[in-house]
Structure 1
């Protein structure tokens, strides 16, 4: 009996000291915890990857929306998000877009795109995680990302601006190019405050903007652009009072065999002329031969034709020294307020003074007798500067080259509306020429801010 008890005691002590099964027990107890941790880690990784994918989509979508800047900015944003696989309303995806989001620097005009999508829970429920929602009886976790951008702007100059579409301008179209295979506005931007339609040719303008629809005008055509106000109407305040006292002289062929009404000598030019300061002509100015204009004033010469036309009659008017601005002023009536008659205009606008950069200026109060049917061709235009014809319907049939004297390759035109048939050599040395082209602040590339 004693031996049996002693033997049993030794076995009990040996069993207590034997720890070979402890590891198995510990592992068995830890397996659920390990599985839960791995499951949670796996799902968190999946959520993170989903968020990164959504962030990339949101960044691209908000950049597209802010760069668009138009009425359909939200459509463009959702289209970009869809390219990343996030289609609004499909598989519980939400793509929210706004252009009134708070900006980090202040204001509420930032663009913001938020993308979210609920994903089902799997093993993470083993640790009691219940997610953020229940959809069709399945617990889900909402995953999402957002991005904010501001709309950057750039100042865009135009060598051609049509005013049709602005208040007071009733023309139904701005720019039209029918075929015009020789038109070349390379290095130039064009803008219509109404429509722009180019059939068969883009005009090769770098950028073609239109407030309404732009059909193929420009290498980069843009529709729905902000309108551009008349940039030069304010210059009319610099036109002096009419000195003619109501008497104007016109070259008028009479009916039958009556002789033509002659113009006085003051209205017929040929040879060398000095135009310092302001020179006024009452009625038509006709060239009876080539005219060489010179001046010594720093601001150039100002030639104002009151209630009359400039009839080159096949001759050339050019500056041989100095600069020139030709202004058509007066009142509406039967008069023509424009250059006519073939030949050539060859001069450069002043580089200083109130008429800096302005070559030809039709006063904005003139609405009749202002149209030009053969611009650049009859007469030929070799002009450096701006031609401002705010109420004129213009057919542009010729080529524009720089002036021979003091000429740089810079030309700009502002008209009511234009049909382009000819060519254009319109380059961009305008800073040196003292020319400030019409311009507009337009949407540029967007910038992410958050």
Structure 2
């Protein structure tokens, strides 16, 4: 009996049994917290990389770019209880709402933490063998903010090279007198200067500058640049035209209070016409037609000319005329079209090519000329408008400048002209 009384092995077993749930719970919560930490770190790495990728992309496809990067980290939107949201209008820590934001959320199953009373923070529906049920899980989330920051490289001429019309998207022939200062030229494919060198401060392409188009030597290859202005198409009003009879101008018609004047069909000048500056600027939208100056000049201050409509049908969406006429316009410095002088809607792919730019008619333009799917040949001169800064920027699919071609622009004047020049930009984390 005394030996039995002294035997406390059962007490130890009982104490162990009583403490076992607590021990298991403590061990379980430790394991679970470690799992949450590793998952949270993976979420944050994916969110950071996706935000930087979206900001670096900076075009209408920023969201697809961010989602693709997140997927490489194992986080796919809609799979494994994962949701990913992206925006290009997130508030920035330093002010403004032009940051790129990424939020990745994933819920993970509970392991042993329920033994200490933790029941998760989200209810998730699961389907097994065709039957749906709900369970409690832990929701983890990571957010990241990135801002597009420009590199020192800005471009007065950008050849997007998206249509595959030419291998060399920029070709300069003969003794061109083009002089682009404080900016460069950029080809998303290749560029060639034949007998004419150093037309810009620097020249960039996917293969560098092997033929010496720029004054800065030994430029290495740079990545392709996305279309920096396609988003402006959202400013184009809906097409109100049922037919396209066109208009003939001998003077400026009455501009609506909105400042947007619509032309259905060709706009033909029958005399020199001047569009004066007005509050809110002036936007001339030409649907399924061209601007034909004939032998006259269209002048204007704070003016944007937009070509819109549909492909095919024999429509031309260009400026045309003779060498006795021209366009002499400066883009607005404020508003939704700030810095933009001429804009072809980015969905237009036919009737967009220009074969005698600067000579028929002459171009005196301050601001951006955006022709994203056009093959453009310059044989004449492009100078600043008579009423604007010495800022000219051209975005095309591909460009040829012949020996008589002359493009003058000073990139440092473009900020005062309201234009943010194309540049190679990178995303930088800011939050």
Same fold (TM over 0.5): yes
Q: TM-score, normalised by structure 1?
A: 0.57
Q: Which residue of 2 aligns with 1:330?
A: 309
Does the Cα contact within 8 Å between 1:180 and 1:420 map onto a contact in 2?
no
Report if aligned partners of 1:273, 1:293 keep a CA contact under 8 Å in 2. Answer: no
2:168 is paired with a residue of what secondary structure? coil
Name the residue aligned to 1:235: 232
Matched, 1:309 2:304: no
Instruction: Find the residue that maps to 1:327 and give its secondary structure.
Output: strand
* C-alpha distance in 2 between matches for 1:304 and 1:169: 28
Runs of 4+ more than 6 Å apart: none
Q: Following the alignment from structure 1 to structure 2, what is the Cα–Cα distance between the partners of residues 180 and 202?
A: 8
Aligned position for 1:396: 378
Match of 2:271, SS? strand
Displacement after TM superposition at 1:223 (Å): 4.1
Paired residues of 1:275 and 1:303 also in contact (CA < 8 A): no
Partner SS for 1:191: strand
How far residue 295 of structure 1 moved from its aligned partner, in angstroms, is 4.1
Contact 1:274 1:295 in 2 (8 A): no
Q: 2:345 aligns with which of 350, 353, 363?
A: 363
SS at match of 1:425: strand
Q: After superposition, what is the alpha-carbon deviation per residue over 1:185-212, rounded to whole angstroms, capped at 9, x for unaligned?
A: 2333110001000011124210000113
3-state SS of the aligned residue for 2:232?
helix
Instruction: Look up the match of 1:288.
Output: 270
In the alignment, what sits opposite 1:425?
408
1:264-288 CA-partner distances (Å, limit 9, x unpaired): xxx0001344545111100100001
Q: Quote how far apart the aligned CAs of 1:312 are.
A: 0.3
Match of residue 58 from structure 1: none
Shift of 1:171: 3.4
Alignment of 1:207-226 (within 5 A): 207-212=202-207, 214=209, 215-220=211-216, 222-226=219-223
Provide the C-alpha distance between the structure 2 equivalents of 1:317 and 1:275, rounded to a whole number of angstroms.
16
In 1, are the aligned partners of 2:176 and 2:401 still within 8 Å (CA)?
no
**Alignment TM-score, normalising by the size of structure 2:** 0.59
Q: Report Cα offsets for 1:95-129 as digits up to 9, x if no partner.
A: xxxxxxxxxxxxxxxxxxxxxxxxxxxxxxxxxxx
Q: In 1, Cα distance between the equivalents of 2:336 and 2:164? A: 26
For structure 1, list consecutive stretches of 5 or more residues without a partner in the other structure. 1-151, 250-262, 443-450
Is 1:409 aligned to 2:406, yes or no? no
2:389 is paired with a residue whose SS is coil
Q: Secondary structure at the match of 2:234?
A: helix
| Corresponding residue of 1:268 | 248
The structure carrying a bigger strand percent of its residues is 2
Q: What is the CA–CA distance in structure 2 between the aligned matches of 1:236 and 1:209, rounded to whole Å?
A: 27
1:337-395 Cα deviation digits (max 9, x unpaired): 00001211011101111111000000010001000001111111111100000000000
Q: Residues 44-443 of structure 1 correspond to what in structure 2 (within 5 A)?
A: 154-164=151-161, 166=162, 169-212=164-207, 214=209, 215-220=211-216, 222-245=219-242, 247-249=243-245, 267-275=247-255, 277-298=259-280, 300-319=281-300, 322-333=301-312, 334-342=314-322, 343-405=325-387, 407-421=388-402, 422-427=405-410, 428-441=412-425
For the pair shown, the structure with the greater C-alpha radius of gyration is 1
CA contact (8 A) 2:208 2:222 kept: no
In the alignment, the residues of structure 1 paired with residue 401 and residue 240 of structure 2 have an alpha-carbon distance, to the nearest angstrom, of: 37
Structure 2 CA distance, aligned partners of 1:433 and 1:176? 28
SS of the aligned residue for 1:237 comes to: helix
How far, CA to CA, are the matches of 1:169 and 1:303 in structure 2? 31
Q: Write the distance in 2 (CA, Å) between the matches of 1:365 and 1:303.
A: 18
Q: Which moved more, 1:279-288 or 1:419-428?
A: 419-428
Looking at structure 1, the residues matched to 183 and 213 of structure 2 have their Cα atoms a distance apart, in angstroms, of: 12
Q: Which runs of 5+ in 2 are unaligned?
A: 1-148, 427-431
CA separation of 1:401/1:363 partners in 2, compared to 1, >3 Å: closer, same or farther?
Answer: same
SS in 2 for 1:390: strand
* C-alpha separation in 2, matches of 1:228 and 1:330: 26
